[in-house]
Amino acid sequence: MLINGRYELEDLPIGRGGMGEVYLGRDIKLDRAIAVKFIRFPDGSYDQDYIRRFVRESRITARLEHPGVPAVYDVGTHENRPFLVMQRIRGISVADLVAEQGPLPVGWATAIAAQVCAVLAVAHEASLVHRDLKPSNLMLEPDGGVKVLDFGLAVAPDQPEFSRITVTGQPLGTPAYMAPEQIQAALTGPATDLYALGCTLHEMLTGERLFTGSTSYDVMSKQVSHPPAPVRGVRAEVPVEMEQLLLDLLEKKPEDRPADAYVVYRRLTSFVSELRPLPGVLSPPGDPSPTRMYATVLSRVFADARVGRTSIVPVPPARKPKPVPSPPSPPVDRGQVRRARSEARRLAGKARYAQAADVLADAVAATPHAAADSDAVGLRLDLADALFEGGDYRRAAPVYQALLADLADTGDEDLLLRCRLQEATCHALTGNTSQALRQLDDLLRDQRRIIGDDDPRTIDLRRQIGLLQLGTGESAAARRTLRELWRDLSELHGPSHPLVREISDLLAVVRP
């Protein structure tokens, strides 16, 4: 099979799953081995919006440069099926490794998990969440390196809906590795990946999945409500500190898990030892390995550094200089602003959000900060939106926050409300859920006063707050929020309205 006149694929896929199927092949233009993954539509029918989001997230993923992430070469569609062209990886999946060899040596289990943490650290800094981390998405190469597969392929829904799981039976992830917040509210963040890593590490150490059941719903129910069994009850030689790390990773509330992948990495590395050969999996020790040669040198960077002691000489306080009046700001170059915004819109229209943000950021740097100037404010708003659409939520949040001060005196209440919502959403998507909830609660109070309870924006905001409370383990608060929303929607639209049914589905899974 030849697609796009360039990629020659083998006749049969090497694997199928809920997200699609993978073919091995060759890029005949560059004469290199490749892997091509065709993505399935969630409901089996063509969906242009799904393709748009798939291309967007693929481009975000392609910017993730790390030795533990396969390179993304191309993205496109063939016969209305979206596909991704990736670097071909040779090795064995951790799922197959555990199936063949049973529980892994403690050193190797932690070495694999630590390498995954290194990948998650750089991904989470870029506002990327894997969402489907599991042993079958980890590939152990012959030199001992680990590749994390399928980053960004589980396209996030624009509006999380638990009803997709209860109605279609298609969970937004793999139940055996899904965090409670992912199950209850389709909410994902860095802590979601850490929970999945805990499930994976448990499986590597014990040879068994953390939770099993006769149905997906049974497994998901256990993820939400059952405490994890201590791993030392199955394998006594696991260090006590590692068991505690596992229990920390598997906390039900995301804010109770370790702060980030860096913290987990540091706690894991003390157990990475005795990495003996794994027969039939790793290259023999005598074989030359350019990758290990490279890594050996890197591991010695700063290894022999010694921190010298220096004497500290008190410095007398400097005299306070007399204030110098600031020169008047030069006028805004409106032609430059218009050109930058026009070029950014053109790039964003092609889903090239990173380039659009770069164009806008350069223009913002060259434009005087004028809070009362609509062109200057519009330029910064475009920058915030480009960063948000490109998935760079960490950079977008402070831009939205700075805009709020400039917009406060404009009287544009709608724009103020939107920027506040966008900033809070950025915090929610980067795992700062407590801050996001505080901001959303404040926003709801003002939104009710300004645009009223029956406005669709207010209704959707109440729904988002309920979902976020549900995802963060605040079951009682979520139940109150969603129950009040269900009552008001029932009075407004009647019991058969889709929104009423959706809230009913959510209430059905919230524990009293």
CATH number at residue 477: 1.25.40
Give domain status of residue 208, yes or no: yes
Supply the range of the domain harboring residue 195. Answer: 92-277
Lowest mean pLDDT among 23-37, 142-156, 214-228: 142-156
Instruction: Give residue 121's pLDDT.
Output: 94
Query: Quick check: 98 and 206 in contact, CB under 8 A?
Result: no
CATH number at residue 96: 1.10.510.10
| Token pair listed for 219 | 């497994």
Q: Which residues pair with 32 in a beta bridge?
A: 27
Give domain status of residue 310, yes or no: no
- Residue 77 shares a structural domain with residue 99: no
Give domain status of residue 148, yes or no: yes
Q: In the 8-state DSSP scheme, what is residue 137?
A: G
Residue 344 carries which side chain, given as an amino acid letter? A
Q: Count other C-beta atoms under 10 Å from residue 479's C-beta.
A: 18
| b (16+ CB within 10 A) / e for 307-327 | eeeeeeeeeeeeeeeeeeeee
Give domain status of residue 351, yes or no: yes
Give domain status of residue 122, yes or no: yes
CATH number at residue 53: 3.30.200.20
Question: Can you give the pTM of this predicted structure?
Answer: 0.79
Domain final position from 87, 112, 133: 87
Q: How confident is the model at residue 152 (pLDDT cuts 50, 70, 90)?
A: low
CA distance 64 to 60: 7
Give domain status of residue 417, yes or no: yes
CATH number at residue 348: 1.25.40.10
Instruction: Give residue 196's pLDDT.
Output: 96
Considering 47, 74, 132, 385, which one is annotated as catalytic? 132
- Residue 394 shares a structural domain with residue 493: no
- Residue 160 shares a structural domain with residue 243: yes
The tens digit of pLDDT for each residue in 44-72 reads 777 777 777 777 777 777 888 899 999 98
Domain final position from 63, 87, 111: 87
- Residue 83 shares a structural domain with residue 157: no
- Residue 244 shares a structural domain with residue 132: yes
- Residue 138 shares a structural domain with residue 249: yes
- Residue 168 shares a structural domain with residue 260: yes
**Collapsing DSSP states into helix, strand and coil, what is residue 202?**
helix
- Residue 496 shares a structural domain with residue 375: no
- Residue 374 shares a structural domain with residue 495: no
Lowest mean pLDDT among 163-167, 362-366, 430-434, 489-493: 163-167
Give domain status of residue 437, yes or no: no
Percent of the chain clearing pLDDT 70 (strictly above): 88
Environment class of 263 (CB within 10 Å of its CB; exposed 0-12, middle 13-18, buried 19+): middle
Tell me the mean pLDDT in the region 87-113: 94
Give the residue from 1, 76, 90 showing the smallest Cα distance to 37.
Answer: 76
- Residue 33 shares a structural domain with residue 74: yes
- Residue 249 shares a structural domain with residue 268: yes
Is residue 132 part of the annotated active site? The answer reads yes
Lowest mean pLDDT among 121-135, 272-286, 485-499: 272-286
- Residue 252 shares a structural domain with residue 119: yes
Give domain status of residue 358, yes or no: yes
Q: How many domains does the chain have?
A: 4
Q: For residue 152, which phi and psi values (nearest 5 degrees)? A: 80, 0
Its sign, for the CA torsion 157, 163, 169, 175, is positive
Angle between helices 413-429 and 374-389 (to 10 degrees): 30
Environment class of 247 (CB within 10 Å of its CB; exposed 0-12, middle 13-18, buried 19+): middle
What is the enclosing helix (H) or strand (E) of 39?
A: strand 32-39
Domain final position from 36, 56, 87: 87
